[in-house]
Amino acid sequence: MSEAHHTGDEDVVTTRIDGAVTIATINRPAKANALSNGVIDALDAMAESIEQAAADGSTRALVVTGAGEKAFSAGADIANLVGLTASGAREQMLRGQRVFDRIANLPVAVIAAINGAAFGGGLELAMACDMRIAAPHARLGQPEITLANIPGWGGTQRLPRIVGRGVASEMILTGSPIDAQRALAIGLVNAVENACLDYAVKLSHAVAAHNHHAIKAAKAAIRAGLRGGIEYGLEVEANAVADLCQTPEQHEAVRAFLDRKAVRA
């Protein structure tokens, strides 16, 4: 099953279903999968459809990638930035932040398959995902300072939380990209794989094999601690465990575990 999110005559984000995993592809290869206003709108619509599909557990993981082999996404479409007023620029940044937050907050595992360049908004989109798998030829960076500006779709906030202040400051203040192996060394990506999309889909299926309530709760607890501090995160974690302990799925999983242990004994 597949669908396309339309903007004008262009299917800028396409999706296909592989069991409990949805694969979403930014489909502007001739533009290095640049994130135009239309792409942002299409990503928002895609996230809404994932929220609906996740409600009953039919979708438990999402893979985000780019069309072609050259780029995951080269970043914001610069054509959309020409002539912006201050208020227009602020609204455009807030719009992108809201959409990327929506993707980050999806109640499913979200994995970026970085099949090529991930610059600017492209890296910010990848950082909104829970995990990132990079192709060996991928390059990642926040080059906004070379255009006399700074990241505006979450880069100044997510990058330091992933790689630490020092490395994030280096990347943001120099604008210099890094290769996939350095991204792996600093923890910006989880793995470097030749067939990064296949690896990301396989990883997604490993997550999707688990209970969708537990996936949602784990993501919520991680997010709570990162945003609200460890004390708040611990409270959310304890409450989630208490709620999950009351579910039929958890009762059955515990019984099955004990039965297997008894047989082995």
Residues designated catalytic:
124, 144
Give the span between the Cα atoms of 137 and 146, in whole angstroms: 22
Give, in order, the Cα–Cα distances in Å from 114 to each of 41, 75, 168, 177.
21, 13, 19, 14
Residues 107, 217, 188, 80, CA torsion sign: positive
Listed residue (110, 128, 119, 114) closest to 180, CA to CA: 114
Give the span between the Cα atoms of 96 and 109, in whole angstroms: 20
What are the backbone angles phi and psi of residue 175, rounded to the nearest 5°? 75, 5
Give the distance, in angstroms, between the CA of residue 48 and the centroid of all CA atoms in the same chain. 14
Give the distance, in angstroms, between the CA of residue 60 and the centroid of all CA atoms in the same chain. 14
Across the chain, which distance is largest between two alpha carbons, in Å? 72
Q: Which residues contact 194 (CB under 8 A, 6 or more apart)?
A: 135, 136
Give the DSSP H or E segment for 217: helix 212-228
